[in-house]
Amino acid sequence: MADSQSPATVSDFSAPMTGGHDFALGGRPAKYTVLYFYPKDNTPGCTTESIAFRELHPRFLAAGTEIYGVSRDSMRSHDSFKGKLGLPFELISDPDEAVCLRFNVMKLKNMYGKQVRGVERSTFVIDAGGKLVKEWRGVKVPQHAEEVLEFVQSLP
């Protein structure tokens, strides 16, 4: 993946998601696709982030943008998390880390004094042609969804 200053093309990929369909990047009907990667369903930060994207979802749609959450959780966990929070968008299940590795979001993190391998909270905006338009890495949850919305609203 290129750094946030240089445009890169994200090659097409598919992955299972909630809603009974597979996600495929190619041929998305929206002008823009937001992929937000988060560590784990039903954890405080991930719940807060998902709720923030849920609350802003109508405004993302108005800006021609679809949202998808991505984590290593199982489809069963995603279905439960999505239902519990009433998320209006789909969640992509990546238990084998293929999508996470494609976007280079697997990192060593310190947790309770131990190093663990996990998902670095990150968000990517991709246009309909597959061009990576913007990326955020090491995301802090407060106001992040608003920042992403403001960015996509500024796009042509």
Examine the residue annotation and report whether 100 is marked as an active-site residue of this protein.
no
Residue 141 identity (one-letter amino acid)? V
Average pLDDT on 72-96 reads 98
- Kindly state the percentage of the chain with pLDDT values over 70: 96
Task: State in Å, rounded, how far the first CA of the chain is from the last one.
Answer: 23
Average pLDDT over residues 77-88: 98
**Candidate list 17, 34, 46, 119, residue with the active-site label:** 46
Q: What is the pLDDT of residue 4?
A: 42
Q: What is the arithmetic mean of pLDDT over 130-154?
A: 96
| 57 within 8 A of 88, measured Cβ to Cβ | yes
Burial grade of 23 (CB within 10 A; 0-12, 13-18, 19 or more): buried
pLDDT range class, residue 7, cuts 50, 70, 90: low
Mean pLDDT over each residue of the chain, to the nearest integer = 92
What is the structure's pLDDT at 40? 96
- Residue 22 · residue 92 · CB < 8 Å: no
Pick the CATH number of 30-153 from 3.40.50.170, 3.40.366.10, 3.40.30.10, 3.30.70.100: 3.40.30.10
**What mean pLDDT is predicted for residues 5-26?**
86
- Residues 6+ away with beta carbon under 8 Å from 87: 50, 53, 54, 69, 81
Q: Where are the domains of the chain?
A: 30-153
Query: How deeply is 38 buried, as exposed, middle or buried, from its count of CB atoms within 10 A (0-12, 13-18, 19+)?
Result: buried
Averaged over 44-65, what is the pLDDT? 97
Confidence tier at 99 by pLDDT (50, 70, 90): very high
